[in-house]
Structure formats: C-alpha cells, structure tokens
C-alpha cells in the first residue's frame, strides 16, 4: 500500500463536530463560541468550506 496524502487532505476538508480540538480551532479561527461551531456543523454538515462560509455571515 502506497503512502499518500489523500486521506489527510480529505480529513482537513471536514470539521469533526465531536472532536474538541477541531471545534476549538474553528471557534478561535472564526472568533465565535464552540457551541456556535457545533450548531453550524449540525445545520450545514461537516464540510469545512460550508461551516466557515456560514460562520462568516
């Protein structure tokens, strides 16, 4: 099996709403609360682009 970065790239395109470090990272990056990030992930899905776009509104 070849080592590729594909898995990592796909992982970075998602926000794991259940992982505190990812929620905290997005909250600090977008300057919002952690509950707001979790709520947004539930609303728009775990796509990082969609979550960030929704939080910027």
Domain ranges for the chain, please list them: 5-56
Check residue 11 and give its pLDDT. 78
List phi, psi (to 5°) of 15.
-110, 120
pLDDT score at 29: 93
- For residue 8, the model assigns a pLDDT of 74
35-50 average pLDDT score: 95
| pLDDT exceeds cutoff 60 at 1 | no
Average pLDDT (26-49) is 95
pLDDT above 90 for 3: no
pLDDT band (50, 70, 90) for residue 46: very high
Q: Are 15 and 51 in contact (CB under 8 A)?
A: yes
């Amino acid at each position: 099996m070849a080592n590729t970065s594909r898995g990592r790239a796909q992982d970075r395109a998602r926000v794991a709403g259940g992982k505190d470090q990812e929620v905290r990272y997005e909250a600090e990056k977008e300057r919002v609360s952690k509950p707001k990030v979790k709520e947004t992930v539930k609303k728009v899905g775990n796509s990082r682009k969609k979550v960030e776009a929704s939080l910027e509104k």
